[in-house]
Amino acid sequence: MKNKIFTYRTLCWLAFLITYSCGIEKYIPEGEQLYTGAELEIISESELKDLKEVKSELFGLIEPYPNTRFLGMKPALFFHYKAQREKPGFLYKFLNKSFGEEPVYFSNVNTERVEELILNRLDNNGFFYSRSTSKTVVDSNFVSVKYSATLPEPYVLENYKLESDSLPIYKEIEKMLSETALVKGDRFDLDLLKAERARLNNGLKQKGFYNSQEDLLIFEADTNQYNNKKFDLFLRLKRDVPARASIPYTIDSITVYPNYSIEGDTLPLTKNNVTQVNNIDFIQNELYFKPDLLESYLLFNEGDLYDANISKQTSNRLSALGSYKYVNIQYTELDTTAVDGDGGSLAASIYLAPLTKRSIRAELQAVSKSNGFTGPGILLSHTNRNIFNGGETFSISANFSYESQLSSGSNSSLSSIAGGLNADLVIPRSIPFSPRRFKYAVPKTKISLGVDFLQRSQLFTLSSVNGSFGYTWKENQYVYHTLDPISINYSKLSNVTDEFQTILDDNPFLSQSFEQRFIAGLLYSFTYDEVTNLGKETPIYFNANFDLAGNMLNLVSGGSGTIFGSEYAQYAKADADVRLYLRWKKERTLVSRLYAGWGVPYGNSSTLPFVKQFYSGGPYSVRAFNIRSLGPGNFNAETENATTDYFDQSGNLKLEANVEYRFPLFSYLKGAFFVDAGNVWLTGNYSDIEDDQLTSSFSQTLFTDGKFEKDWLSEVAAGVGFGVRLDIQSFVIRLDLASPIRIPYLDEKERWNVPFFGNADNNMTLNFAIGYPF
């Protein structure tokens, strides 16, 4: 009955929208006509292979764009009109703010201007002497325009030649012509010519031509040699080009100021403050940065030809040290009289203004974790930059927090006290490799050591010591790598309560995951991130992680399974996260995400360590379900033992998908609609556990219902919801209200649920979190 009521209300709402969206004519002011769009007809006098591309390019010139349509309606325009009333009400003000559009009237359309744009673009693409017309189509208060363009046969390239000259710049241009994108038969295209000129100028800037500029290169098209619409293209320099622009420059000297003050004056050259390394002068009153180390970050030397790309890469490398707030490389022409190929010379000066050497920071935090624990915290940190005069950064931090689980059903009373002390040393070079081996960015070596403790009320205390040695580096603008060849974690479980001991006794899967106290192995992470480039309309994000543990310890221990008296874990684990962002006007974004992770225990281990297992549900996962309340598979903890649902619902395989539409509400408040789906499963036969320890019906049910089988799709949980986010300069406080549409742990005939109106026990779940879910 409830399903029928829900469907009826939905149909009524759609009928309301259709009725009123189609009735917008009454809102059009007197004397105005609503512009409904344009059509474009292309008439070509010759066969064109890329006719569709040409039409698409010309259609993009037609302006303005009409109001958007949805299912034949104009709801965005309707919301705008309704919001202009004297008392529009909150709903229409909200809809207009989020989706509304101002009307586009025919009085805003300039058909003559559009015709000129079409003809100009056709000329730029080789269709000289084209024709363009337009026709207005009136239907009551609505007007559309039909444009027509007649294209003659285009001019195509026959020969591409360089006018010869004795200047050295011509010799370099001639070498680069072999890599041109212009080939015989290409249609005349002004954009291609501009791209070719930019390519040549960039190449010259890398060959010493310090004063080269794009506008010094001239293209001339000659059609007089042919009668069949072909042309020859000639490349030359402008008339009366200054000699300084046509000769290469060599770097004559390099001076570096490692401790430069923006407000102060340049230090004079004296014996007391100058250190020379490989003919490079380093000037500093007192040692701030070791010259022999700083020299290795410079990619050019005395006697090299000037190279704009190498200069930019050097600047990026120096900025990435983490010791400087200001990096400026300046060049001064020393020989301004050089002519006729003798070449010029440059003096390079590199000014480096340091960041504050020491800093102390205290933060009061609102902690929100993926396991659902939320509460206040405090963080104290001290940072010492350039501690050993080689760009090294040493930081030490202490944290303390009290957390309580806000949305975990029967475990809502759980709380925890957590704290830790961590120290990091970041060295801006890859030990033991030379920085010169890496052109784009120098890898950083990171050494970390920390101790942490977690006291969970009514359950246990978990203490751990961790350490790592590894590298992070940026391969290009979008690609990041992290490699920790040494990663060690030792944990100890203590103060176990009788309640938690009962859980361990009933669940050998969980018990063994806590017994593996020693984790040592290799971690690698690959990230491709275009999201930070705000100019991209469809950026993608991809992250993959690989975790391999226990092999070296197994070799050292001779396969005994223990080291220093503690059991160690052996496993391989990998996961991948891919996201696609669709951005358009008014800060609207549609984000799609797929996630998959799989861990395989082997050798000394029958299960993954507890901290390495996958969980599903919660504010960063499937938000219609509470933290860790999903899986594995169709396992239902509540039918077995309600006290165990927090700990047992994990697995070594996780699949998840999310779609979220984000839009602004007003000021710093944003809104979102979302759909989430996913679950966790168990893979493998767990034969070691099943043979000896599966004594309880709980454990037997867990392994039976939690296995990943062929019908895994029927065990995928799904939910929908909406949320609001307070986003202040990337600091985000998030509230999401979600409801399930598919509940995998119920009987197969009862798994579908009407969101927000169904009969499920957890029909609505409120999630509070810090930051976006993905």
Least confident of 226-235, 270-279, 676-685, 709-718: 270-279
146-160, 161-175, 459-473, 502-516, range with the lowest pLDDT: 502-516
CATH 3.10.20.310 residue ranges for the chain: 2-151, 156-245, 249-354
611 or 150: which carries more pLDDT confidence? 150
Q: Is the pLDDT of residue 191 over 90?
A: yes
Span 312-337, pLDDT tens digits: 999 988 998 889 999 999 999 986 55
pLDDT band with cut points at 50, 70 and 90 for residue 636: confident
Of 483, 737, 754, 751, the C-alpha closest to 623 is: 737
Q: Is the dihedral of CA 750, 756, 760, 766 positive or negative?
A: positive
The CATH classification of domain 249-354, taken from the options 3.10.20.310, 1.10.10.10, 1.10.640.10, 3.40.50.300: 3.10.20.310
Measured distance between the N- and C-terminal CA atoms of the chain, rounded to whole angstroms: 37
Write out pLDDT tens, residues 597-614. Answer: 999 998 888 888 888 889
Sequence-separated (6 or more) residues with CB below 8 Å from residue 384? 357, 358, 393, 394, 395
Written out in words, the top-level CATH class of the domain with range 2-151 is: alpha beta
Quote the Cα angle for 618-620-621, to 5°.
65
Q: What is the pLDDT of residue 643?
A: 47
Q: Does 470 have pLDDT greater than 90?
A: yes
pLDDT grade for 457, boundaries at 50, 70 and 90:
confident
Superfamily for domain range 156-245 = membrane protein fhac (3.10.20.310)
Asked whether the predicted pLDDT for residue 8 surpasses 50, the reply is no
Other beta carbons less than 10 A from residue 19's beta carbon: 10
Mean model confidence pLDDT for the chain = 85
Query: Is the pLDDT at 82 greater than 70, yes or no?
Result: yes
More confident residue, 196 or 534: 196
The alpha helices in 177-288, defined as continuous H runs, are 190-205
pLDDT at 5: 41
Separation of CA 186 from chain center = 37
Sign of CA dihedral 551, 682, 372, 719: positive
Would you say 169 and 212 are in contact if contact means Cβ atoms under 8 Å apart?
Answer: yes
**What's this model's pTM, rounded to 2 decimal places?**
0.76
Residue 11 is predicted with a pLDDT of 44
Higher pLDDT, 264 or 655: 655
Name the pLDDT band for 367 (thresholds 50, 70, 90).
low
Name which residue leads in pLDDT, 574 or 769: 574
Confidence of residue 697 (pLDDT cuts 50, 70, 90): low
Instruction: Say whether pLDDT at 272 is over 60.
Output: yes
Tens of pLDDT, residues 86-134:
888 888 888 887 788 899 999 999 999 999 999 999 999 999 999 999 9
pLDDT of residue 12: 46
**Has residue 575 got a pLDDT over 90?**
yes
Q: pLDDT value at position 18?
A: 47
With cut-offs at 50, 70 and 90, classify the pLDDT of residue 488.
Answer: very high
Closest CA to 632 of 501, 744, 767, 748: 744
User: 139-153, 680-694, 754-768: lowest mean pLDDT where?
Assistant: 680-694
Q: For residue 186, what are the CA distances in angstroms to 190, 193, 235?
A: 12, 11, 16
Per-residue pLDDT, 2: 41
Which pLDDT tens digit goes with each residue over 368-426? 554 556 678 888 999 999 999 999 999 999 988 887 765 545 555 677 888 999 999 99
Mean pLDDT across 277-304: 92
Angle between helices 89-99 and 75-83 (to 10 degrees): 130
Residue 754 near residue 742, CB atoms below 8 Å: no
pLDDT digits (tens, 9 = 90+) for 657-696: 999 999 888 778 899 999 999 999 998 765 555 444 545 5
Whether 254 and 281 have beta carbons less than 8 Å apart is answered as: yes
- Per-residue pLDDT tens for 203-220? 999 999 999 999 999 999
Q: For residue 640, what pLDDT band results from cuts at 50, 70 and 90?
A: low
Predicted confidence band at 137 (pLDDT cuts at 50, 70, 90)? very high
Q: Tell me the pLDDT band of 3, cut-offs 50, 70 and 90.
A: very low
Res 267: pLDDT: 58
